[in-house]
Structures are given as structure tokens and as C-alpha cells.
Structure 1
Amino acid sequence: MQLLTKLKLSSYLFLLILVSFSHCKKSSSSGEDLAALLPLLNLASGLNFCPKSPLPSEILIATTVVSASANVSGFSDSNKAVNGICGSGELVGSLDVYALDITGPGATMVLSWGGKTVKNVSGDDFIVYDNSFRISDDTNTYAMDPSVIQVSIDGTNFCGFNPSYSGASVNLMDSWTRFGGLRPVYYNMTTKPFSNEDLFVNTGGSFLLGGGDGFDLNNLDENDPNDINCNTTLANDIKATGFKFLKITSAANVDNPNTPGSRFPWPPGSYNGSDIDGVVARKLQ
């Protein structure tokens, strides 16, 4: 109940529905039931006004879906991953997302900036936006969609950030290091706009002003065991020249090097993988 009183929604009934369904992977209902509720939810919450059209020109969002094959009912429109950022804050997940599968070919998607290059600058170079939200008064406990992030110059050979899971708990943010899909999204192009540079302002620890998970190309790790086509030369080339393609994979579809023979865990009760709201670069060329 304390969580409910903090959410600024128009009615108690709608609040119960939204908390139950806003994080699309955490549902005991069928995908068809959820899909039927989406128009009502969007209309009542005002999310139908986000994203803006046309997109703000200064926001350097990934604009092109290179590949995507998931088909999660109600969240199968891959354009949702490139049509703008529609975060709902600390306590509610956005519905304007494209949902990946938990495992299999549909657990991965590749985005690009339409041929442009994301440059390596000081600090975080890009931000991945999902729809995580806090589920406890403990500020470290979230409903999360851990995703493995990799980047590439040619769209074939990818390097990543050697993500690590401590094994403490799938809902403790501190358990996950160098993953996407961990932090809430505060940025909303309609209701809470920021400049592109504002989005990269660090507000303490690893949290950013607009939320999401930031990645610094200087942290690429050629020793990541899941990057079979990455090596020191390629990682250094990406650091020096930037990248054109970004791959996002549900963590449950990636081998966990700390537990040979098994993959990263996935939050129980989830019927789909990572939910992608968008990716923003700091500088393009």
C-alpha cells in the first residue's frame, strides 16, 4: 500500500491494474489478456502522447532496427525500441517497449543509428533504456530485465563489457554489474524532457538524471568469454573510432562464465525477456 500512495495515477482501480501489468514480463495472466488492456492503460495514463512525433532532433536515439524476431503478445512491435523514450519513473515501468524473448533467437535484437557512428567521449557513451521499477522500500530491490550489451563496427564482430552476476538475488541491483535493464527510466519525451547532455548527468553512484543504464566504451573487455569474435585489436578499434551497431540480449540467453554450463538467471514469474524502450548516444559522427 505504501507503494500505491506514491504513484500519481488518476484512480485507485487503475493503479492496481497498472502495477499488475505495467512491467510486461511480470504477469501471471496471458499475453492476450495484457494486450487487450493496453489501449485502456495507455489512454488513462497519458502514455498515448509519448513518444513525441517527430522526435526531438537533439536526442541522439538509435533509429534503426537491424534485426528483431521476438513475438511477445502485446509487445511485438520492434518500432517501440526506436520511436522514443517514454519512461514512467521509479515505481512504474513503461508500456512503450519492445519485448525480447527469454531465450532463443528472439532474445536478441540489433539496433543502429542509420549508418552513423557512436563516438567514444569522456564518461558514458550511450544509455540503454528498459522498464525496470522499484518493488520495495529497499532502494536496491527492483523488477529488472538484465540484458547483455555488445557493440560492433561491422554488425558481425561484437565486443561486450564482460557482465557479472554475484548470485545474491535476481532482484537486487547490486547483484548485477555491467548489464542493461537494471535502472528505472525517468526520462519521458513528453512529460519529463531533458537535453541530450542532461541524460548523461550522473546523480550519484551509477544513476543518471534521466535513468537507464550507461555504458562507457573504455570499459569494453576483449576477454569477455561470450564475445568469441572479439579480440584486443577489435576492442581497441572500437574505443578509438566508435561503433555503428548495438546488440541487446536477454541475460537468460547468455552463458554465465562464473557458473560453467549454465546461463545467467532470470526473474521468476516472467513470461518474456528484456523490454527495450530505446538507446541514446552521447555523440554521433
Structure 2
Amino acid sequence: MRNRILSYSVFVCLLVFSCKESSPSSNESLLALLPILGSSANATLCPKSSTLPPDIFLANTVVSASANISGFSDPTKAINGVCGVGELAGSLDVYALEKTGVGATMVLSWGGKTVKNVADDDFIVYDNSFRISDDSNTYAMDPSVIQVSLDGTKYCGFNPSYTAGNINLISSWTRFGGLRPVYFNMTTNLLTNEDLFIEKGSRFFLGGGDAFNLDDLDENDPNDVSCDTAAVTDIKANGFKYIKITSASAVDNPNTPGQKFPWPPGSFNGSDIDGVVAREVQ
């Protein structure tokens, strides 16, 4: 009986949970999804305050957002605080992007402040990825393409790359957001801004999420149609004010001309944005 049940894809949809479907390829995929039924509910208690902590440099302004995913259409969920629930579950406190079209993109800012280029990583993007097998590198992910801008017009990115193979392996995706789970929770797992940038190894951070270093901006990113060498140089020297987050499924894949980046099976919308934290602002 157990094997018969496990031969089918399993859908986990908690109330208005942003559903991700498990792969039927392994028993572990199903078993790892089951804890969501318990731990995801904890995210509904977060954040416990409408006042953002001043020592956590969260993006706090929605510049543009037009997605309309049922149950996840409130863009303020992307700026009201980070509410991760760990390795085996995804947060409910997110704003969901579409897979394609204008609704696949949102732009956030720090209310006029500038995110500085400091030593090492400069900001972290939080989504709601979670592990789907005993292989700690295999996740239900929502890959997103990240671009930044100083003037709100010229957006420059990190030239993300997808390597064909197991689409749920983090190692298949380079320089994307939406890959790693989120451990930082502003109600149940408080961390300092400094703590969030402590790397535990393999680009996993103490609070989770995906970190980016402005020194890695690439003026040769083929998707940065508005970017040029001068803009990249300016951002590296002076920082940025705006961050654009786009579901990877809406972005051209340079390795496969005429096609978008692939989308992991079982994610029924685009990227789920829980927040963005800068290392230092001015």
C-alpha cells in the first residue's frame, strides 16, 4: 500500500499555502514534505510586530508589484519581516510572483537609502525553499533572477547560469535567489544583522537565504539590456537603491537561445518573496 501511494505525485496545500508538488522519483521526497503540515503553521505567527527592528536592514518599500496569486497577492508580505520556518517547510508570509509576464517581477527599495558595497556579501534574498530528500542539496526551489540599480533605470545583474541536470539540485543553479531555505524568523529565531551574514559552508548562511556580493556584478549579463559598464562601475563604487526580483521562468536562458530558464516541477506560481536584508545601508 505504501509503495502504491508513493507512486503518485503528492500535493501539499495548507489552506492558502503556496503549493509545491513533490517528485514521485523517491520515497524521501514525500516523507520530507510531511513536516510542512506542522511547522508551516508556525509562520502564521510571524511577524509578531508591525514595527521592523531598526538593526535589521530590510528592504521596506514596494516600488512595483503586479502579481495576483490567490492567497499570496499582498506585496507588503515581502517587506514586513522575514518569517522562515527552517529546512523542511516554506513560509506562508510571502508575496508570490507569477511564472511569466509582468507579474513575474517585483521591485523593492530601502526607502531612499543606499545599500553599500562592503567586504564580502552585501545582501541576502529570502524565499521559501525547503529540502525534499535526504540529499541536503535537493530542494523544492523558486529560482529568481536578481538585478540591482542605483538610479531605478539601469538594472545590472549577476549573470546567473543553469546547468542542465537535476533541476532540484542547488548546484545546478548559480547566482540565483530562491534556492536555499530560510532559518531566520523574526518571531521564533531572532538573529542580528551581523549573524545573518555568517556563512556556515557551501553558501548556506546562519539565517538561510541566498547572498549576493556587488563585486560579482557582470556587465556582460545578456539579460541586462539597460545596464552597461559605467552603471556596473557606479554601483560597485556607490551601492544601489533598488532591487528587482524576477521568477527565473520569465527570463531568457543564454545557454538555450529562444528559451527561458526551466522551472522546477511542482511550483504552481513563481518565486515567493519573504524579504531582502542588506548588510549595510546609508
Deviation at 1:267, TM superposition (A): 1.4
Task: Map 1:114-133; keep pairs closer than 5 Å.
Answer: 114-133=111-130
Deviation at 1:47, TM superposition (A): 2.7
Give the counterpart of 1:195 among 192, 206, 210.
192
Q: Distance in 2 between matches of 1:178 and 1:261?
A: 21
- Provide the secondary structure at the position in 2 that maps to 1:46: helix
Name the CA shift for 1:45/1:139 in 2 (closer, same or farther; >3 Å). Answer: same
Amino acid at match of 2:188: T
CA deviation map 1:6-46 (0-9, x unaligned): xxxxxxxxxxx995548614159xxxxxxxxxxxx899933
Deviation at 1:48, TM superposition (A): 3.3
Q: Distance in 1 between matches of 2:150 and 2:192?
A: 27
What is the aligned partner in structure 2 of residue 271 from structure 1? 268
Is the 1:68–1:110 Cα contact (8 Å) retained in structure 2?
A: yes
Gaps of 5+ in 1: 1-16, 29-40
- List, as ranges, runs of 4+ consecutive aligned residues in structure 1 with deviation greater than 6 Å: 41-44
What is the aligned partner in structure 1 of residue 223 from structure 2? 226
Percent identity between the two aligned chains? 70
Deviation at 1:191, TM superposition (A): 0.4
Amino acid at match of 1:46: N
What is the aligned partner in structure 2 of residue 92 from structure 1? 89
Amino acid at match of 1:91: L
Q: Distance in 2 between matches of 1:43 and 1:162?
A: 35
Amino acid at match of 2:79: V
Deviation at 1:228, TM superposition (A): 1.0
Amino acid at match of 1:175: S
Say yes or no: does 1:282 pair with 2:279: yes
Amino acid at match of 1:62: A
Give the counterpart of 1:52 among 36, 48, 54.
48
Q: Distance in 1 between matches of 2:215 and 2:17?
A: 32
Q: Distance in 2 between matches of 1:63 and 1:202?
A: 24
Q: Distance in 2 between matches of 1:193 and 1:19?
A: 28
Give the counterpart of 2:151 among 122, 141, 154.
154
- Provide the secondary structure at the position in 2 that maps to 1:235: helix
Q: Distance in 2 between matches of 1:235 and 1:277?
A: 27
Is the 2:40–2:91 Cα contact (8 Å) retained in structure 1?
A: no
Q: Distance in 2 between matches of 1:85 and 1:130?
A: 9
Q: Distance in 2 between matches of 1:202 and 1:166?
A: 24
Is the 2:21–2:265 Cα contact (8 Å) retained in structure 1?
A: no
Q: Scaled by the length of structure 2, what TM-score is found?
A: 0.87
What is the aligned partner in structure 2 of residue 167 from structure 1? 164
- Provide the secondary structure at the position in 1 that maps to 2:91: coil
What is the aligned partner in structure 1 of residue 256 from structure 2? 259
Name the CA shift for 1:44/1:232 in 2 (closer, same or farther; >3 Å). Answer: closer
Query: Aligned pair count?
Result: 257
- Root mean square deviation, CA, Å: 2.0
What is the aligned partner in structure 1 of residue 4 from structure 2? none
Q: Distance in 2 between matches of 1:158 and 1:246?
A: 8
CA deviation map 1:139-173 (0-9, x unaligned): 11100000000000111110000000001122111
Amino acid at match of 1:249: T
Is the 1:255–1:262 Cα contact (8 Å) retained in structure 2?
A: yes
Is the 1:147–1:249 Cα contact (8 Å) retained in structure 2?
A: yes
What is the aligned partner in structure 1 of residue 25 from structure 2? none
CA deviation map 1:185-207 (0-9, x unaligned): 00000100000010000111211
